[in-house]
Amino acid sequence: MKKNSVLKILVIVVAVILISLISFVGIYKQKHGVMENILPDYLLGKDVSGYRMVTLKVDESTTKEETDETNSEEKATQENTSEDTNTTNTEENTNTVEENENNTVDENTANNTSTEGNTEQEETKENILTKENFEKSKEIVQNRMKYANISEYNIRVNEEDGTITLELPENTRTDEVLQYLTLKGDFTIIDADTKEVLLSKNDLKDATIMYYPDSTGTTVYLSINFNEEGTKKLEDVSKTYIETTDENGESTKKTITMQLDGQELLTTYFGETISNGQLQISIGNSTKDATELNDYINNASYIAMVLNNDMMPLTYTLDINQYVSAYINQDILKIIIIVAVVIMAILIIYLLVKYKASGLCDAIAFIGYLALLMLIIKGTNIYITLGSMAATAVSLIIQFIAMNSVLKANKEKRNINETILNTTIMLIPIYIIAIVFCFNSWLQLSSFGATMFWGLLLSSIYNYLVVKNILVIKSEDK
């Protein structure tokens, strides 16, 4: 072998080893007397690092109140009906008076009514605590999480008592999202003095977030859009709830209060008539600070998340809220890594046996490919999940197939460039799949797609720049 060729191959091999060392070990620098890796850490998904386990329990007390409300409504309807009957049927009135004269009958009637009332309450409670309502609540929670861009979660509902168990990724947003997930979503606009309900959730169309930049910064607005009926109601309300000045020059304000689940969002009055059905509420103050602005946007989007989804049929309360480590522990990860190393070793041995010296160089290049892919995963902030691990395995196998075809082409004295191009064209359907998955918000899919995409792209470039050149240098030498 010529000295020049040996040197070229040696340079490539040393570069690959260096990249492998950087990727698998890191770059260490002394910082405050301690050696620290200056490369960023891998981002870990919930199936590898751990997750927040949350249970939402049906609030029985509220359910009881709801039952009572339903009962009193029913009772009121019955009373009305009874009044109507009383005025029309005199015979029945006489009978009732006769019965009232008899104390024993009266007591019995009272007991019967009470028992009937309890049974009715139980029946109504049974009507509320149904499998359908539990399932609907689960769907609403799922929709809210989708709206809040929760990248992955597990949800289950107990069909007997309606308890919802959630497994959410642990991050800075988890607690904020949880606060809003448990809300019933009962939005009302009431008269601040009389508490009369002026507009309700049924009058809403949707809620969107808007930004208005001005000289002092950016203001975040929550735009509440009303439906046709709501628009008319809002117009009337905006005409009534205004600031008025009497003859003496004294001003009086008629105010409304916006509520979410009974909690006051805002108390205000209208400066002008709103006829377009859009009510804009500013969230926080105008700001130039990115973190502050982000907080306002998050707050607005959480309220929008609740308003844009149905109202929960039941009231839920947060029961258990704890961080739990992942089922996949360090030992399982070690096993996965060992299995991957063994498979790679088998593939390398295959290359060595089949292609001898060329196989050795490409075996080293194969390790370099994995090292580069891991560096890209780190650099592009792809989360390490089971999905991305699977995609890494697929990328390695594809790279092996591609390298094998390049080595075969070299052995058969075919054009290497053409082989690499053909392989890349053959991989286009996989590129399509990877790109589609990349744009999905579900972490398992997006990490799978992103890893696949970079794996494929790296494979084409790497084979052209490294694998091909090793073979070219070797054949030039011959």
Partner 1 sequence: MKKSVLYVVIGLIIIIGIALGMLKGLNYSLEYQANEKVELYIGKVVDRKDIEEISNNVFGKNENKVQIVEIFNDMVAVTVKDSNDEQIENFVNAINEKYGVEYTKDDVEVIKESQMSIFDIIKPYIVPIIIALAIAVIYIAIRYHKLGFWKTLLSAVLWIIVIEALLYSIYAITRLSVNATTIPIALMAFVFTVLGISINNENKLKLIKKDVKE
Site for partner 1 in 182-241 (CB under 8 A): none
Nearer to partner 1 among residue 281 and residue 435 (C-beta): 435
Binds partner 1 (CB under 8 A): choice among 347, 364, 365, 427: 427
The residues that bridge with 164 in the sheet, in sequence order, are 56, 157
What is the separation, in whole angstroms, between the first and last Cα of the chain? Answer: 8
The residues that bridge with 258 in the sheet, in sequence order, are 189, 266
Q: Near partner 1 by CB under 8 A, which window of 100-108, 147-155, 219-227, 259-267?
A: 147-155
Nearer to partner 1 among residue 325 and residue 380 (C-beta): 325
Strands (E), 48-182: 50-58, 154-157, 164-169
Site for partner 1 in 431-450 (CB under 8 A): 432-433, 436-437, 440, 442, 444-445, 448
Binds partner 1 (CB under 8 A): choice among 11, 21, 76, 324: 324
Phi, psi of 157 (to 5 degrees): -125, 135
* Cα–Cα distance measured from residue 177 to residue 149, given in angstroms and rounded to the nearest whole number: 10
The residues that bridge with 259 in the sheet, in sequence order, are 188, 264
Residue 27 near residue 296, CB atoms below 8 Å: no
Site for partner 1 in 31-70 (CB under 8 A): 47, 55
Q: Does residue 398 bind partner 1 (CB under 8 A)?
A: yes
Least CB distance to partner 1 at residue 82 (A) = 44
Nearer to partner 1 among residue 444 and residue 463 (C-beta): 444
Q: Near partner 1 by CB under 8 A, which window of 15-23, 74-82, 387-395, 468-476?
A: 387-395
Interstrand relation of 383-384 and 43-44 (parallel, antiparallel or unpaired): parallel
* Cα–Cα distance measured from residue 156 to residue 167, given in angstroms and rounded to the nearest whole number: 9
| Identity of residue 49 | S
The residues that bridge with 199 in the sheet, in sequence order, are 189
Nearer to partner 1 among residue 188 and residue 392 (C-beta): 392
| Helix, coil or strand: residue 243 | strand
Nearer to partner 1 among residue 15 and residue 428 (C-beta): 428
Q: How many residues bind partner 1 (CB under 8 A)?
A: 46
Binds partner 1 (CB under 8 A): choice among 341, 428, 461, 465: 428
| Helix, coil or strand: residue 262 | coil
From 458, 448, 449, select the one nearest 372 (Cα to Cα).
Answer: 458
Least CB distance to partner 1 at residue 440 (A) = 5
User: H or E segment at 318?
Assistant: strand 316-325
Binds partner 1 (CB under 8 A): choice among 109, 121, 158, 208: 158
Least CB distance to partner 1 at residue 242 (A) = 48
Least CB distance to partner 1 at residue 176 (A) = 19
Nearer to partner 1 among residue 8 and residue 138 (C-beta): 138
> DSSP label at 329?
-
Q: Does residue 322 bind partner 1 (CB under 8 A)?
A: yes
* Cα–Cα distance measured from residue 45 to residue 152, given in angstroms and rounded to the nearest whole number: 9
List interacting residues with partner 1 (CB under 8 A).
47, 55, 142, 152, 154-159, 163, 165, 320, 322-329, 386-387, 389-391, 393-394, 397-398, 422, 426-430, 432-433, 436-437, 440, 442, 444-445, 448, 452
